[in-house]
Chains A and B, each alone.
Chain A
């Protein structure tokens, strides 16, 4: 009985780790491949990450909003 209880706990923990890892909030870490995107841009109609693959590094920087202090 005790063994079954231990197993149940282990399965729960494993499931938590498994599904927890797939939550959308998981941040990209160094070494990860970035997902592609295509978004409206200020310099041309759209910019895609795949525009630069095989050609250039990309410095992607996030900022809070336009017309806010830099």
Chain B
């Protein structure tokens, strides 16, 4: 997440808004976002209404992150269409910004 903040200008130059989503309460997200100095928004789906409809909530009772958001990335275009998606099995892993930026370049036709 710190990496996304560091590369935020690269996402912005590709006309892309970065948004993070988790099941944290707003009162937990805010101090963390402040501590990390995040300029992009984190949104709180503490009622777990949105993540299931996006397929991003872990619904496996045997998972260590059961009922939490999966480590996941969706690129949604201006028309609200999913153009690229990756969900990682291991929530401790993260994608590199380079992979995300390359996917954006492909979508933007560059």
Interface residue ranges, A against B (CB under 8 Å)? 24-37, 39-44, 47, 49, 52-67, 69-70
**Least distance between A51 CB and chain B CB atoms (Å):** 8
B92 closest partner in A (C-beta): A69
Total A-B residue pairs with C-beta atoms closer than 8 Å? 181
Question: Considering only CB atoms and an 8 Å cut-off, how many residues of chain B contact the other chain?
Answer: 69
Contacting residues, chain B, for A49 (C-beta < 8 A): 76, 80
Whether B79 contacts A53 by the Cβ 8 Å rule is yes
Whether A70 contacts B16 by the Cβ 8 Å rule is no
**Least distance between A49 CB and chain B CB atoms (Å):** 7
Whether B17 contacts A63 by the Cβ 8 Å rule is no
A-B contact pairs, 25 of them (CB 8 A): A25-B52, A27-B56, A28-B82, A29-B82, A31-B81, A37-B43, A39-B43, A39-B44, A39-B45, A42-B29, A42-B33, A42-B41, A53-B79, A55-B78, A57-B75, A59-B74, A59-B104, A60-B54, A61-B71, A61-B73, A64-B69, A65-B23, A66-B24, A66-B31, A67-B32
Q: 7 smallest A-B Cβ distances: which pairs?
A: A27-B55, A66-B32, A62-B69, A42-B33, A62-B72, A39-B43, A43-B41
Complexed CA–CA distance, A26 and B54 (Å): 8
* Among B17, B39, B72: residue with most chain A CB under 10 A: B17
**Least distance between B77 CB and chain A CB atoms (Å):** 5
Q: Which residues, 1 to 42 on B, are CB-close (under 8 Å) to A?
A: 1-4, 11, 14-24, 26, 28-34, 38-42
